Amino acid sequence: YTAATNNPCFDKMESNPICVQIPWDRNPEALAKWAEGRTGFPWIDAIMTQLRQEGWIHHLARHAVACFLTRGDLWISWEEGMKVFEELLLDADWSV
């Protein structure tokens, strides 16, 4: 909460002084496959399927799918992942 207090751009990369400006891949098809659990990677797909069905996944599973999206195979912005998590997670709280 402290970092967000003085940063109106805390929840986005653009104009955020504490974010490295990364040239993310813009791939709506890959993003949709990730969000729907259709990546072809069984571990990732199982986690995203559980998230859609139950609205909850273990924190290590959250880390796994977030890393797959951003630094793993897809190289898609965390902002896109945040939108999916906010939609599907029952306990979503972007500031935590």
> Tell me, what amino acid is at 75?
W
Rounded CA-CA distance 46/22 in Å is 28
User: Is 64 annotated to bind ligand?
Assistant: no
- Kindly report, residue by residue over 54-95, the tens digit of the pLDDT: 999 999 999 999 999 999 899 999 889 999 999 999 988 766
- Kindly report, residue by residue over 25-63, the tens digit of the pLDDT: 999 999 999 999 999 999 999 999 999 999 999 999 999
User: Is 93 annotated to bind ligand?
Assistant: yes
What is the pTM assigned to this prediction?
0.81
User: Is 91 annotated to bind ligand?
Assistant: yes
What pLDDT is recorded for position 26? 93
The CATH homologous superfamily of the domain defined by 25-96? DNA Cyclobutane Dipyrimidine Photolyase, subunit A, domain 3 (1.10.579.10)
What pLDDT is recorded for position 27? 97
Domain boundaries, the chain: 25-96
What pLDDT is recorded for position 95? 61
